[in-house]
Structures are given as C-alpha cells and as structure tokens.
C-alpha cells in the first residue's frame, strides 16, 4: 500500500469512529454536542503524553480513553442541567475551551504541538489496520447498542425526556452513559491518531472539526449507524476527490452543508428510507 493510501485509510477509520461515537450521543440519546473534537483531542494529548513518559502503546491508548471518558462524564453532568440549545452552546464552549487551554500549556507543547511521539511498533500500515479494525468494532458496538435495551433507553430519552422519566427510565443515568461511551471512543480515536501521525497540534482538534463531525452525523441521518458511517467515509474522501479544487475546499464543504440541509433535512438515511417507501408503494 502506498503511504498516501495508508494515510487516507487511517483518517477514514478515525473519522468513522468519531462520527459513529458522536451519533451515539446525538443520534441515539438526543444530546446535541458540538464539542466532540475536544474529546478526540483529549485522547490524543493524553496518549501522546503517556507515550512520551514511557508507557507502552496499549497503556497509553488506555490513558487516552480514560481521560476523554472522564471529561465526557463532566460534560454529561452539564447535560443533566442544560437542555437543547443551552447544551449545544455549552459544548461549543467546551470545544473552544479545550483548544484555548492546550495552546497555553508549555508541557503539552503549546502552539507548536507535541512531536516525536514514540512509535507504536506496528509501522504505519499496521497502525492503519488497527485503526480500521477499531472503526469496524465501533460500528458493530453501535449497531449492538442500538438493538439492546440500552439503545431503547437512549431513544426514549432522545425522543421525549419527560415522558421517558414518567415511565421509569432513569434519564440522567442514560445521558451519562451515552456521553461516557461516546467520548471514550473519541478518546481511543485520538490516541490512535497520535500514534499514527506521531505529531499533534491544537488546531487539529478545533471547533471546525467538531462541526465537520456533526455534519457527518446529520448528513448521514441522525440515529442511523450505517448512514453516519457512509457519510463519514464520503466526507473524508470528498476533499481527496476534489483535490484539483483544493483552494475551494471550505467553500464546497459549506455549500454542501447548506444544500443537504435545505433539500434533504433527513440526511442520507432519510433519503434511503424515502426511496424504500416509494419502492414498496409500487
């Protein structure tokens, strides 16, 4: 595999992990989060720091998962008190807060980021395969969760919190679990990213990344694991395919968001469902 193909595959895998895990929080449980990149970054920085301190790769990745998951619990607690748009703006705040904090920390490399992260010992192709395996596992976990009792609880909370509470669903517990699970997976993606590139800077985890991830979820169709995974692959490949217009990348991305929302607010999954209904109707 060429180095280019390897890196595209790795980034696809990471974006699938991030989008699918965000979908658990936003799609399943209905908690709108525009701060997912912060947890991705927390995982990357934690893993990079642990690896730099001499921890072996599995331990460093675990550190990333734990730190991101802990932060996720904290933000999950915020979601117990804040609803809808208040939560959306708070998570935007989390995104800016994370980058603003890391930028000013000399022990995390400040603006320059962390370089010379030790190798995982797998080589870049091994890393990419590990990332793809994790992405597939994330999709499988998401599908499993959706079919389980827990997924039912998530959907109940997402559809109507007050009704869910009335029928005896512990709304707070489900929200916390959704945040912890989703952010822990984002942390793992961050750790894998740190090992893959061996070099991280604060801007990789900025607000625009959070928005891109949310765009993957919404374009894929909130709540649909497969739709979101497809959207993640498509939106990652798009800049590669339209490389000749690299200068217009953001213009195209923004325009695409507007057009998809304007003409297919249900996303890919919504479109798919509409086509199915039509086919059955005939």
Give the residues lining the site for another protein (CB under 8 A).
Answer: 32, 78, 81-86, 88-90, 92-94, 96-97, 99-101, 103-105, 207-208, 211, 214-215, 218, 247-248, 250-251, 253-258, 261-262, 265
Task: Give the whole-angstrom CA distance, residue 26 versus residue 6.
Answer: 30
Tell me the Ramachandran region of residue 175: left when phi exceeds 0, alpha when psi lies from -120 to 50, beta otherwise: alpha
Least distance CB 1 / another protein (angstroms): 32
φ and ψ of 152, to 5 deg: -60, -45
Rank residues 5 and 89 by Cβ distance to another protein and give the closer one: 89
Nearer of residues 97 and 112 to another protein, judged by Cβ: 97
Least distance in Å: CB of 30 to another protein?
10
Q: How near is the Cβ of 48 to another protein at its closest, in Å?
A: 20
Task: Give the position of tokens 């642990």.
Answer: 50
- Say which residue the tokens 């800016």 belong to: 96
Yes or no: say if 222 and 24 are a contact pair by the CB < 8 Å rule.
no
Longest dimension (CA), the chain: 65
- Minimum Å gap between C-beta 273 and another protein is 15
| Residue placing its CB nearer to another protein in the complex, 58 or 265 | 265
CB of 98 or CB of 195, closer to another protein? 98
Instruction: Give whichever of 66 and 82 is closer to another protein, judged by the CB atom.
Output: 82
Cβ atoms of residues 60 and 190 within 8 Å? no
Alpha carbon distance 148, 225 (integer Å)? 14
Rounded to a whole number of angstroms, the minimum distance from the CB of residue 156 to another protein is 17
């Amino acid at each position: 595999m060429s180095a280019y193909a390897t890196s595209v595959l790795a980034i696809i895998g990471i974006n699938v992990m991030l989008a699918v895990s965000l979908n658990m929080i936003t799609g399943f449980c209905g908690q709108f989060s525009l701060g997912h990149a912060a947890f991705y970054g927390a995982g990357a920085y934690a893993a990079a720091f642990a690896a730099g301190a001499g921890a072996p790769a599995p331990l460093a990745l675990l550190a990333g998962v734990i730190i991101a998951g802990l932060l996720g619990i904290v933000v999950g607690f915020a979601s117990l008190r804040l609803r809808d748009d208040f939560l959306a703006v708070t998570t935007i705040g989390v995104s800016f807060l994370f980058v603003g904090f890391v930028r000013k920390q000399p022990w995390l490399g400040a603006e320059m980021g962390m370089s010379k992260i030790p190798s995982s010992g797998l080589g870049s192709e091994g890393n990419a395969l590990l990332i793809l395996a994790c992405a597939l596992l994330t999709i499988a976990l998401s599908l499993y969760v959706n079919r389980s009792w827990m997924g039912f609880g998530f959907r109940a909370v997402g559809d109507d919190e007050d009704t869910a509470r009335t029928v005896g669903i512990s709304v707070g517990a489900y929200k916390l679990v959704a945040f912890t699970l989703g952010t822990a997976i984002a942390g793992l993606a961050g750790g894998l990213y740190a090992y893959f590139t061996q070099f991280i800077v604060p801007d990789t985890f900025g607000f625009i990344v959070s928005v891109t991830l949310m765009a993957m979820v919404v374009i894929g169709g909130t709540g649909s694991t497969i739709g979101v995974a497809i959207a993640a692959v498509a939106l990652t490949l798009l800049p590669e395919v339209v490389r000749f217009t690299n200068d217009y990348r953001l213009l195209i991305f923004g325009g695409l968001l507007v057009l998809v929302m304007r003409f297919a607010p249900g996303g890919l999954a919504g479109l798919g469902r509409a086509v199915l209904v039509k086919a059955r109707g005939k």
